[in-house]
Structure 1
Amino acid sequence: MAKSKGCFACHDINAKKVGPAFKDVAKREAGKVDYLAQRIKNGGVGEWGNVPMPPQNVTEEEAKLLAQWILSLK
């Protein structure tokens, strides 16, 4: 799903691109599935630098699945 939703345009599993590496997110946000799902769905800025993450075109369920997948990468 991460590929089909375009997540890899700005993120990589192991290395920082425009946004942080998914493994870095998994370490920092461990156990915060609902929080991370809301960040995916609603976007945000300031937590990982000045580059904003725009709101993503995902359902609540898709955001939660993506968050669970990201958090499983640590």
Structure 2
Amino acid sequence: MKAVYIAMMAAAGVVMAGQAQADEALAKAKNCMSCHAVDKKLVGPAYKDVAAKYKGDGKAAATLAAKIKAGGKGVWGEIPMPPNNVSDDEAKKLATWVLSQK
């Protein structure tokens, strides 16, 4: 039974790692990484800083998905983030991925 449990946990880890990589690939494909990085500020904030700011906020994923689609200004400084050409599903995936960064 212990071996089955370990195998299930390992499989779940592989699936989750694959999803994280897929969402990073989506961020690269949508040119998010031109202005953002996971661990350092570029033009926009580091994704780990965004995740830290919204930690514990149950509405964060929806808020960030809306900002990804519509753009925004003022939360992280005066440089605006332009609207992005992403679907609602892509915006949700990106927001969830950003919030998972540590």
Same fold by TM-score greater than 0.5: yes
Instruction: Give the paired residue count.
Output: 74
Q: Matches of 1:53 and 1:70 in 2, distance apart?
A: 15
Of structures 1 and 2, the one with the larger relative CO (CA 8 A, separation 6+) is 1
Q: Is the 8 A contact 1:29 1:36 kept in 2?
A: no
SS class of match (2:29): coil
Query: Which of 15, 24, 28 lines up with 2:53 in the alignment?
Result: 28
Unpaired stretches in structure 1, ≥5 consecutive residues:
none
Match of 2:35 in 1: 10
Instruction: Report % sequence identity.
Output: 53
State the TM-score, normalizing by the size of structure 2.
Answer: 0.70
Task: Give the alignment partner of residue 76 of structure 2, picking from 26, 31, 48.
Answer: 48
Please state how far the C-alpha of 1:29 moved relative to its aligned partner: 1.7
| C-alpha distance in 2 between matches for 1:45 and 1:70 | 18
2:90 counterpart residue number: 62
Higher radius of gyration, 1 or 2: 2
RMSD: 0.7
Letter in 1 for 2:81: M
Structure that is richer in helix per residue: 2
State the 4+ residue runs in structure 1 displaced beyond 4 angstroms: none
TM-score (ref. length: structure 1): 0.96
- Distance in structure 1 (CA, Å) of the matches to 2:39 and 2:27: 14
